[in-house]
Amino acid sequence: MYSLGWMLCAVCYVLFAYNTYAQGNAHDPCLSPTTCGECIRVPNCVWCSHTMMSVQGNDSRRCQLRDLMTYCPLESLVDPIPVEKILVDIPMTRSLRIDEPTQLHPQRVSLTNLRQGLVHNISMQFKVVKNYPADLYYLMDVSHSMLDDKNNLVRLAGSLVETMRNITTAFKMGFGSFVDKNVIPFVEKTTASCGPRSLPEIGCSVTYSFRHQLSMSADVNEFTASVNSTSIVTTFDVPEGGFDALLQAMVCKDQIGWRERSRRLIVFATDAHSHLAGNGRLGGIIKPNDGLCHLDPENNMYVEALNQDYPSLGQISRFAKDNDMNIIFAVTNDVAPSYLKFMELVSGSSVAILGPDSENIVELVRETYEKISSSVEMMDTAGPEVKVRYYTACTGTLVQENNKCGGLKVGDIVNFTISIEAIECPVNVSARTPTIQIKPVGVNEVLTLDLEIVCDCGCEKPGGPGFVANATECNSVGDLECGVCDCDSLHSGSNCECSADVNIADLETNCKPDNSTNVLCSDRGNCFCGVCECQKRPNPTEVISGKYCECDNFSCDRIDGNLCSGHGDCNCGQCLCYAGWQGSDCNCRTTNETCIPIGGGDVCSGNGVCNCGSCQCSANSNGRYCEDCPTCPSRCDEFTPCVQCKVFQTGPYSADNEAACNSECTYSIITQETVQVEETSERECSYENEEKCTVKFVYGFDSNGARRVRVQKEPICPEPIPALAIGLGLAGALIALLLFALLCYRIATYFYDKREYARFLNEKKNAKWNTDNNPLYVNPTGTFRNPTYKL
Ligand X SMILES: *[C@@H]1O[C@H](CO)[C@@H](O)[C@H](O)[C@H]1NC(C)=O
Binding site for ligand X (CB under 6 A): 24-25, 58, 68, 119, 121, 123, 125, 154, 162-163, 166, 224, 228, 391, 399, 413, 415, 417, 419, 428, 430-431, 469-470, 515-516, 541, 543, 553-554, 563, 569-570, 591-592, 603, 609-610
Task: Decide whether 609 or 742 has the Cβ nearer to ligand X.
Answer: 609
- Cα–Cα distances in Å, from 76 out to 49, 56, 103, 231, 435? 5, 18, 44, 79, 31
Closest CB to ligand X among residues 215, 224: 224
In sequence order, what are the beta bridge partners of 696? Answer: 686
Could you tell me the smallest distance in angstroms from the CB atom of residue 86 to ligand X? Answer: 12
Rounded least distance, CB 161 to ligand X, Å? 9
Report in angstroms how near the CB of residue 283 gets to ligand X at its nearest.
Answer: 32
Nearer CB in complex with ligand X: 155/318: 155
Alpha-carbon distance 550 to 543, whole Å?
11
- The rounded distance, in Å, linking the Cα atoms of 246 and 210 is 9
Do the beta carbons of residue 240 and residue 145 sit within 8 Å? no
CA dihedral 723, 728, 732, 735 (to 10 degrees): 100
Long-range contacts of 626-635, Cβ-Cβ distance < 8 Å, separation of 24 or more: 627/597, 627/681, 627/701, 627/705, 627/707, 628/680, 628/681, 628/701, 629/605, 630/680, 630/681, 632/607, 634/683, 634/685, 635/683, 635/699
CB-nearer residue toward ligand X: 162 or 334:
162
* DSSP classification of residue 242: H
In the complex, least distance from residue 575 CB atom to ligand X, rounded to whole angstroms: 10
**What are the distances in angstroms from CA 480 to CA 64, 209, 461?**
20, 69, 10
Rounded to the nearest whole angstrom, what is the least distance from the CB of residue 298 to ligand X in the complex? 23
- Residue 74's closest CA among 46, 55, 36, 54? 46
Q: Which is nearer to ligand X, 114 or 277 (CB)?
A: 114
Q: How far is the CB of 714 from ligand X (least distance, A)?
A: 40
Q: Which is nearer to ligand X, 63 or 351 (CB)?
A: 63
Report CA dihedral (22, 27, 31, 37) to the nearest 10 degrees: -100
Are 620 and 632 in contact, with CB atoms under 8 Å apart?
Answer: yes
CB of 542 to ligand X, least distance (A): 6
Q: Rounded distance, CA 251 to CA 302, Å?
A: 12
> Is the Cβ of residue 121 or residue 788 nearer to ligand X in the bound state?
121
Dihedral sign computed on CA atoms, order 618, 620, 624, 630: negative
Measured N-to-C along each axis, helices 313-322 and 336-345 cross at an angle, to the nearest 10 degrees, of 60
Q: Are 447 and 109 in contact (CB under 8 A)?
A: yes
Helices (H), strands (E): how many in the chain?
A: 13, 42
Rounded to the nearest whole angstrom, what is the least distance from the CB of residue 396 to ligand X in the complex?
A: 8
User: Is the bond leading into 775 cis (omega within 30 degrees of zero)?
Assistant: no
Q: How far is the CB of 239 from ligand X (least distance, A)?
A: 29
- Residue 56 near residue 527 (C-beta atoms within 8 A): yes
In whole angstroms, the minimum distance from the beta carbon of 430 to ligand X comes to: 4
Closest CB 259 distance from ligand X, rounded Å? 23
Residues 625 and 667 sit within 8 Å (Cβ to Cβ): no
> What residues pair up with 141 in beta bridges, in sequence order?
178
**Whole-angstrom Cα distance, residue 94 to residue 475?**
62
Beta strands 325-331 and 350-353: pairing type? parallel
Cα–Cα distance measured from residue 479 to residue 568, given in angstroms and rounded to the nearest whole number: 50
Give the Cα-Cα-Cα angle 291, 293, 296 (nearest 5 degrees).
145
Distance set, CA 267 to CA 149, 444, 554, 612 (Å): 13, 18, 94, 111
- Minimum gap (Å) between residue 164 Cβ and ligand X: 9
Q: Which is nearer to ligand X, 430 or 773 (CB)?
A: 430
363 vs 167: CA distance, rounded Å: 13
Distance CA 663, CA 313 (A): 128
CB atoms within 10 A of CB 199: 12
Q: Which is nearer to ligand X, 108 or 683 (CB)?
A: 108
Q: In whole angstroms, how close is the CB of 322 to ligand X at the nearest point?
A: 19
**What ranges in 267-327 are assigned the alpha helix state H?**
313-322
Query: What phi-psi label fits residue 60: left (phi over 0), alpha (psi between -120 and 50 degrees) or beta?
Result: alpha
Q: Closest Cα to residue 291, out of 247, 326, 241?
A: 247
- Min dist CB 260 to ligand X, Å, is 26
Instruction: Please state the closest distance from residue 210 (CB atom) to ligand X, in A.
Output: 22
